[in-house]
């Protein structure tokens, strides 16, 4: 572990103990050396003095030649335990007198005596030689052999003392450090702990410790930082809430806009569709086509903008469902074969054999990307055509990498613009926008969508005037399911007349949409409309319905409220009624919101009529349908006779060629007409317009069955105006038209029978 | 000078160490003793005796001959040079530091010592019996005795002559006080 990484507590302890020990060691060593030297010097001095004293004391003995007396003097040295040998030499280095403590020390040390050295350490002994001077003349020499055992013993006891000192000092230093390091470390550790707890609990607490040293400054800094962070957090939370709020408002705005725009668009498209079924001049037909195309384009643009804002907001999410790739390709093939044929281009499919049919993923987005790429290709190609190539490469873990390559022979994109086309609101040139239209969002959205997929990418390579190739890479999970055969919509139960018809309650405040829905559903169901949720709830209490089509945005009580009201009702027959949401707000989460609020299904406006009819059929109790389902019979053998009023083709189509059923229908029609006629006239004459409206409604259904679309429209208008009590002057004319047309039709019917 | 002195000194020491073997004449040893005595003795400062040298006087009969001159001349003791005088009358005594008294009659000795009184003169008797008892300070003893000389420190003290105890240690001490009791 690095010293740097250990805790400050240990650091201080280690430092203090270390410094103390180092100081102690150095000073002890110095002291030890100094003391040893001093002691040695002291011994030397002492011995020298002793030698001098001995010499001085014996001067007379020497010059008056009295060795016995000298020896007596030397013997007094026995008092000093350290003196092993003491000798007095005369000037010829002969021993004059001597004292030997132990016989073992009796060596002569002659080489030292004859040398010039005054002292010498030999084998733990000190040898000292001092001249004996009398009256400035050397008269002999004193020699002492002094034991250094005392010195060594002192050294050893000194070392013991130092070891003891060390231990004691270490213990004292450790104890003191452990106690005193807290003075420095505790505030720092407190600070650290506070910091940790802030980090962990995100609870911005300050440290309460008033002091004026650096740590105090640190704490002050820390506290002020924490206070700032607190303040900033509050500000941030506020800002976040504001941002979330505005995001919510933006979402709401988008939802509303999408609803507000789609609702009239629904009207435009629906009406245009209805208009197609009316007799029109060639010029009118052309105008109508233009209306339809413009409306569709507008819808595409609106959808693009909505998608784009969803992607920008990060709210776009991919579905993960099982889908049939061949179905998607087939649909594309049908659509673009026709579109390209209109522009005299070719459309080729080039699909590898190993491309799997069933996959897991988001079919909607795949279709969107391919539509965008192929649509662009068609848009920017004048000659030649478009090829869609699909390559497949199997990967591990049941994944398949697919490459969708859309290549065209169009105008191409210059190299330097190839990156730009993926940017928002960018096209290769501003001319492009003028010439070919478009929002410039399509490729941006496609690329963003592509990038959201696993291994997804969208790339382009292009040469001017040679064409462009867009390549969409994606990895899908393989599905083991076998592709289901495409269910033909014609297998749907046929429209029926009679009392057992399914009763649909339509909750919709927009009259045009009411009309549109009513019109497309009329052949199959009895449709009753309510303008808001409140009326729906009231009606349900009075009358039985089989299904409700619920617009979500209505005055007084919207779809969600109405649904929850209905689901809360006591009557089991009512609260279980299937409800399909109709909404123009095609934004994310709306579907979930609908399902959550208790609705059974969801359809986004503008919708495909067949899709709505299918959904209704799938939700109303199957037993009723089966009961109403006519028996299967061989195909109609009616010969193609000229019928002016009734539409035998339509009759064929709704009965699926069942002759008996046709006869039944025709008979009912023949029986109904006189009664309808009477009731109508009666209601008109008594000014009971409501009754008139009802009769017209019934008559409308009846003539619709006969395929008398023009008359049906007249009656529909009559029904509507009579219901509202307006345009009373037109009633008679319409009733007459009904009577005349029906009588002629009955004649034709009789031929049919 | 120094070399010469060293040679002489060592010669003397040789002489001293070998005295017991009687290879040197008796008076040569005695001369050396006298020389060495001077090193252990301090005389008081007086007007009559000059302090720059040691006056060695031999009374009447001189048994040393040239030996004294040989031993002392040119050498110092305690930094003082030697001056040797042969005197016959007591009148000359006052100037002396050391007075060597040869073997004279007892009567003369008493008379002589009386004359000297308490003058700071180191009196050395040459084997004079009872010399120290009579008031002499140093007396050579006959050969083969335990100590080579005897000393009366009381007299010395009375005459303000200080004898180094080291020297006293070597001497046979004669004390007046014994006689008194």
Domain ranges for chain B: 2-180
Contact criterion met (CB below 8 Å) for A383 and A405: no
Task: Give me the percent of chain B exceeding a pLDDT of 90.
Answer: 0
Q: Give the model's pLDDT for residue A490.
A: 42
Q: For A339-345, what is the mean pLDDT?
A: 87
Backbone conformation region of residue A168, classed left if phi is above 0, alpha if psi is from -120 to 50, else beta: alpha
Size of interface A-B (CB pairs under 8 A): 43
Instruction: Kindly report the average pLDDT of chain B as a whole number.
Output: 78
Q: How far, in Å, CA of A116 to CA of A106, rounded?
A: 21
**B20: pLDDT confidence band, cut at 50, 70 and 90?**
very low
**A471: pLDDT confidence band, cut at 50, 70 and 90?**
very high
Q: Give the model's pLDDT for residue A426.
A: 61
Beta-carbon contacts of B153 under 8 Å, excluding residues fewer than 6 positions away, are B163, B168, B173, B175
Q: How far, in Å, CA of A452 to CA of A447, rounded?
A: 9
Determine the residue of chain A that is closest to B149 in CA distance. A64
Any B CB within 8 A of A67 CB? no
Determine the residue of chain B that is closest to A68 in CA distance. B170
Whether A642 has a pLDDT exceeding 60, the answer reads no
- Identify which of A59-63, A105-109, A232-236, B3-7 has the greatest average pLDDT: A232-236
pLDDT by residue (tens digit) across A402-425?
999 999 998 888 888 888 888 766
The shortest C-alpha distance from A162 to chain B (Å) reads 48
Whether B180 has a pLDDT exceeding 50, the answer reads no
Rounded to 5 degrees, φ, ψ at A211 are -160, 165
Global pTM value:
0.43
Whether A60 has a pLDDT exceeding 50, the answer reads yes
**CATH architecture entry for B2-180:** 3-Layer(aba) Sandwich (3.40)
Q: Give the model's pLDDT for residue A483.
A: 62
**B154: pLDDT confidence band, cut at 50, 70 and 90?**
confident
Whether A729 has a pLDDT exceeding 60, the answer reads yes
Q: For A317-335, what is the mean pLDDT?
A: 86
Task: Give me the percent of chain A exceeding a pLDDT of 90.
Answer: 7
CA separation (Å) from A605 to A524, B18, B156? Answer: 20, 155, 157
Strands (E), A75-211: 83-90, 95-100, 119-122, 125-134, 137-147
Of A346-350, A650-654, A744-748, least confident by mean pLDDT is A650-654
Mutate which of B169, B171, B172, B173 to test chain A, going by most A C-beta atoms within 10 A? B169
Pairwise CB contact (< 8 Å): A135 & B10: no
Q: Give the model's pLDDT for residue A310.
A: 75
HEC states along A412-471? CCCHHHCCHHHCCCCCCCHHHHHHHCCCCCHHHHHHHHHHHCCCCEEEEEEECCCEEEEE
In this complex, the residue of A66, A91, A135 whose CB is nearest that of residue B170 is A66
In this complex, the residue of B16, B20, B76 whose CB is nearest that of residue A63 is B16
Q: Give the model's pLDDT for residue A658.
A: 66
Task: Using CA atoms of A406, A412, A417, A421 in order, give the dihedral in degrees to the nearest 10.
Answer: -40
Can you say how many angstroms the Cα of residue A343 is from the centroid of all Cα atoms in its chain? 44
Pairwise CB contact (< 8 Å): B33 & A64: yes
In this complex, the residue of A65, A91, A135 whose CB is nearest that of residue B19 is A65
Q: Give the model's pLDDT for residue A629.
A: 38
Whether A69 has a pLDDT exceeding 80, the answer reads yes
Q: Give the model's pLDDT for residue A735.
A: 85
In the block, which residue shows the tokens 């290769």?
A428
Q: What is the ipTM of this complex?
A: 0.75
Q: For A242-271, what is the mean pLDDT?
A: 79
Q: How far, in Å, CA of A244 to CA of B111, rounded?
A: 148
Determine the residue of chain A that is closest to B170 in CA distance. A61
Strands (E), A170-327: 321-324
Contact criterion met (CB below 8 Å) for A517 and A558: no
pLDDT by residue (tens digit) across B71-99?
888 888 888 888 888 888 877 777 888 98
Instruction: Kindly report the average pLDDT of chain A as a whole number.
Output: 81
Enclosing H/E stretch for B59: strand B53-59
Task: Give me the percent of chain A exceeding a pLDDT of 70.
Answer: 89
Tokens of A194: 């506070």
The vertex-A699 CA angle with A698 and A704, nearest 5°, equals: 100
More confident residue, A552 or A160: A160
pLDDT by residue (tens digit) across A658-704?
677 777 777 777 887 888 888 888 888 888 888 888 888 778 777 77
């Amino acid at each position: 572990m690095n010293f740097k990484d250990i805790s400050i507590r240990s650091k201080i302890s280690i430092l203090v103990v270390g410094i103390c020990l180092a100081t102690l060691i150095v000073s002890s060593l110095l002291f030890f050396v100094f003391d040893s030297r001093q002691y040695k010097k002291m011994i030397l001095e002492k011995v020298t003095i002793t030698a001098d004293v001995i010499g001085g004391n014996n001067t007379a003995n020497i010059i008056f030649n009295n060795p016995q007396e000298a020896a007596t003097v030397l013997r007094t040295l026995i008092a000093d335990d350290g003196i092993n040998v003491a000798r007095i030499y005369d000037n010829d280095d002969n021993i004059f007198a001597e004292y030997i403590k132990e016989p073992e020390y009796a060596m002569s040390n002659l080489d030292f005596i004859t040398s010039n050295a005054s002292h010498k350490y030999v084998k733990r002994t000190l040898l000292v030689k001092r001249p004996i001077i009398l009256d400035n003349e050397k008269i002999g020499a004193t020699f002492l052999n002094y034991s250094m055992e005392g010195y060594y013993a002192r050294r050893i006891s000194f070392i013991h003392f130092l070891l003891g000192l060390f231990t004691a000092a270490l213990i004292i230093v450790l104890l003191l450090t452990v106690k005193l390091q807290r003075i420095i470390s505790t505030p720092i550790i407190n600070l650290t702990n506070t910091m940790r707890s802030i980090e962990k609990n995100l609870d911005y607490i300050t440290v309460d410790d008033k002091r004026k040293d650096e740590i105090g400054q640190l704490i002050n800094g820390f506290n002020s930082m924490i206070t700032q962070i607190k303040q900033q957090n509050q500000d941030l939370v506020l800002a976040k809430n504001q941002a979330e709020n505005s995001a919510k408002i933006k979402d709401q705005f988008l939802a509303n806009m999408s609803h507000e725009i789609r609702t009239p668009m629904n009207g435009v498209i629906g009406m245009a569709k209805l208009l197609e079924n009316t007799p029109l001049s060639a010029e009118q037909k052309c105008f109508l086509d233009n209306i339809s195309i413009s409306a569709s384009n507008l819808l595409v643009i609106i959808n693009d903008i909505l998608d784009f804002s969803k992607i920008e907001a990060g709210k776009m999410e991919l579905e993960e469902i099982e889908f049939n790739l061949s179905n998607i390709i087939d649909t594309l093939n049908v659509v673009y074969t026709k579109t390209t044929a209109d522009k005299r281009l070719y459309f080729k499919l080039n699909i590898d054999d190993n491309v799997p049919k069933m996959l897991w993923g988001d079919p909607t987005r795949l279709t969107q990307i391919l539509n965008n790429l192929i649509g662009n290709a068609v848009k920017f190609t004048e000659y030649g055509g478009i090829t869609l190539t699909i390559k497949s490469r199997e990967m591990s873990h049941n994944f398949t990498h697919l490459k969708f390559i859309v290549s065209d022979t169009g105008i191409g994109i210059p190299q330097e613009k190839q990156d730009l086309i993926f940017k928002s609101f960018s096209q290769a040139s501003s001319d492009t926008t003028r010439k070919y239209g478009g929002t410039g969002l399509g490729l941006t959205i496609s690329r963003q969508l592509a990038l959201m997929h696993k291994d997804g990418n969208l790339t382009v390579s292009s040469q001017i005037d040679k064409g462009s190739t867009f390549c969409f890479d994606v990895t899908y999970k393989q599905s083991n399911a076998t592709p289901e055969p495409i269910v033909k919509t014609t297998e749907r139960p046929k429209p029926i007349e009679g009392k057992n018809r399914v009763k649909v309650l339509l909750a919709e405040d927009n009259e045009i949409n009411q009309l549109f829905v009513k019109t497309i559903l009329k052949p199959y169901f009895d449709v009753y409309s309510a303008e808001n949720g409140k009326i729906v709830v009231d009606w349900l209490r009075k009358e039985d319905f089989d299904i409700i089509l619920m617009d979500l945005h209505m005055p007084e009580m919207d779809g969600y409220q109405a649904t929850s009201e209905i689901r809360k009702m006591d009557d089991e027959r009512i609260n279980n009624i299937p409800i399909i949401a109709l909404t123009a707000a095609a934004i994310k989460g709306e579907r979930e919101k609908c399902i959550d609020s208790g609705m059974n299904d969801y359809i986004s406006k503008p919708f495909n009529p067949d899709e709505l009819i299918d959904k209704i059929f799938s939700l109303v109790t199957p037993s009723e349908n089966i009961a109403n389902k006519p028996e299967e019979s061989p195909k109609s053998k009616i010969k193609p006779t000229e019928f002016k009023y009734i539409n035998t083709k339509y009759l064929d189509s709704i009965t699926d060629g069942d002759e008996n059923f046709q006869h039944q229908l025709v008979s009912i029609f023949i029986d109904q007409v006189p009664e309808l006629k009477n009731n109508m006239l009666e209601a008109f004459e008594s000014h009971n317009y409501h009754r008139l409206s009802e009769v017209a409604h019934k008559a409308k259904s009846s003539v619709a069955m006969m395929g008398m679309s023009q008359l049906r429209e007249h009656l529909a208008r009559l029904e509507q105006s009579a219901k509202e009590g307006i345009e009373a002057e037109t009633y008679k004319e319409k009733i007459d038209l009904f009577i005349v047309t029906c009588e002629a039709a009955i004649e034709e019917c009789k031929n049919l029978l | 000078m120094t070399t010469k002195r060293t040679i002489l000194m060592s010669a003397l020491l040789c002489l001293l160490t070998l005295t017991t073997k009687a290879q040197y004449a008796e008076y040569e040893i005695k001369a050396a003793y006298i020389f060495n005595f001077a090193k252990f003795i301090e005389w008081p400062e007086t007007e009559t005796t000059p302090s720059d040298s040691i006056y060695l006087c031999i009374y009447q009969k001189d048994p040393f001959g040239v030996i004294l001159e040989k031993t002392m001349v040119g050498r110092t003791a305690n930094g003082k040079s030697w001056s040797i005088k042969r005197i016959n009358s007591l009148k000359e005594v006052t100037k002396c530091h050391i007075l060597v008294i040869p073997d004279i009659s007892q009567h003369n000795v008493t008379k002589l010592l009386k004359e000297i009184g308490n003058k700071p003169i180191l009196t050395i008797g040459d084997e004079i019996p009872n010399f120290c008892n009579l008031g002499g300070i140093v007396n050579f003893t006959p050969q083969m005795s335990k100590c080579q000389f005897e000393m009366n420190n009381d007299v010395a003290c009375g005459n303000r002559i200080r004898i180094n105890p080291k020297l006293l240690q070597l001497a046979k001490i004669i004390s007046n006080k014994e006689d008194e009791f």
